[in-house]
Chain A
Amino acid sequence: MADTNTTTQVEVKERKPLFGKRERKLITDPLNDNNPITVQVLGICSALAITTQVSPAVVMTLAVIFVMGFSSLFTSLLRHSIPKQVRMIVMLIIIAFLVTVVELSLKAINYPIYQELSVFIGLIITNCIIMGRLEAFAMADKPWPSFIDGVGNAMGYGAILIIVAFFRELFGSGSLMGWDIIGPGAQFAINTEAHWWLEWYMPNNLMVLSASALFVIGVLIWVHRAWNRDLVDVS
């Protein structure tokens, strides 16, 4: 027993760089090769529901980064003391606690956005990315890499969210972050006077419907896999 104690202490003393090669890989992997949405098929529900406009998507991304990073950290800290049979419930309680924190603070800070996101903030609890990463990574690794993995995956998720929201808002309502850019109602955020190349566009109502999120993600997967051939489904 004393032996193992000393060896672990020695291991701790070997200081590794805070952002070593492995940590960098944990951040960049989810952005491309192992993207939670397009490759691991996790966390689709919220990706579809809140991407009609860019600003809720950004808020959602921030909320998910916060919840994922800290739930990974806490789960990883507790990983030796959680019995295997009740681990799901323990993880869910950690996540639910963090989500409640996010919900109440968002309600206090920015009420209009809170109303817009409505049930979807609560649904972060059942966002499968969080559960999936806790189960696959945080239960088996040290706190710091787990935190990095959580943040990295949340960023991969957020990247897709913002890309989809960009296309849906631009073509669906002709605006970006609430600024009208193209279409008849354009406030000419860029130009001070009317230009025909900004006015000709009629906003496409199909892009506002949630079905179009599926098309955008489907095409995104198509483009991603055409560019990164390793991901192609062989079966």
Chain B
Amino acid sequence: MELINIFIKAAFIENMVLAYFLGMCSYLAVSKTLDTAFGLGLAVIFVLGITMPINWIITTFLLSEDGLLGMDLTFLRFILFIAVIASMVQLVEMIIEKYSPALYASLGIFLPLITVNCAILGGSLFMIAREYTFPESVSFGLGSGFGFFLAIVAIAAIREKIQYSNVPGPLRGLGMAFLLTGLMGIGFMSLMGIDPGAFGE
């Protein structure tokens, strides 16, 4: 039950993109068409779902004081995390190239750029900060990946529609995408529920 809770919380309430604004760069750059957004979303679910447990194992068994090496090596975690993420992205790239060359061609440069998608490193750092257990970290990884997928597909659909609207010239494209994301962020915030204390007296 706790695991389902963490999944739903990570996907909707603490959505990586719309609540924490992580992974914005690829989110804004790849969301011009629905197809590529869909492919990138799936790739991010996969990478997050795999790197999160691996990074959990690394921090618990290698870097912590009572781990295998018996030393407090937490200062190495950035370098190790990013190495794990980079190798996983390389793996995803090879899989997509083999089984779906069309998607591979349409994602282009943005596939390797998943490495520097802050949602992925950020997810691992949040996992450490919140002291999740192993099954919880799997659930958190899949949940936040699903949240990213939802967000990028939603904005891609909106941006495809808004191309036909009469937006003022300087606001067209990037500016409009920012405003839309802000509105979507407020929409997702309503999922958090209302805190009665926030209204004061």
Contact = CB atoms under 8 A, between A and B. Distances in A.
B116 A128 contact: yes
Nearest to B80: A96
B118 A96 contact: no
A131 B117 CA distance: 11
Contacts of A97: 79
Name the prevailing secondary structure of the A interface residues: helix
B171 interface: yes
Interface in B142-201: 168-176, 178-179, 181-183, 185-186, 189, 198
Q: What's the interface size class on B, roughly?
A: 35 or more
A119 to B, nearest CB: 4
Interface string A119-134: 1001101111001000
A213 B170 CA distance: 19
Interface of A: 38, 41-46, 48-49, 88-89, 92-93, 96-97, 99-100, 103-104, 118-119, 122-123, 125-128, 131, 205, 209-215, 217-219, 221-226, 229, 231-233, 235
By secondary structure, the B interface counts as helix
Contact of B170 (A99, A118, A225): A225
Contacts of A127: 116, 118
Given A125-B78, A214-B178, A215-B178, 19 more contacts: A41-B174, A48-B21, A88-B115, A89-B83, A92-B115, A100-B75, A100-B79, A119-B126, A123-B22, A123-B118, A123-B125, A125-B116, A128-B25, A214-B185, A222-B171, A225-B170, A225-B175, A232-B170, A233-B172
Contacts of A123: 22, 118, 121-122, 125
Given A119-B125, A211-B189, A235-B173, A45 B21 contact: yes
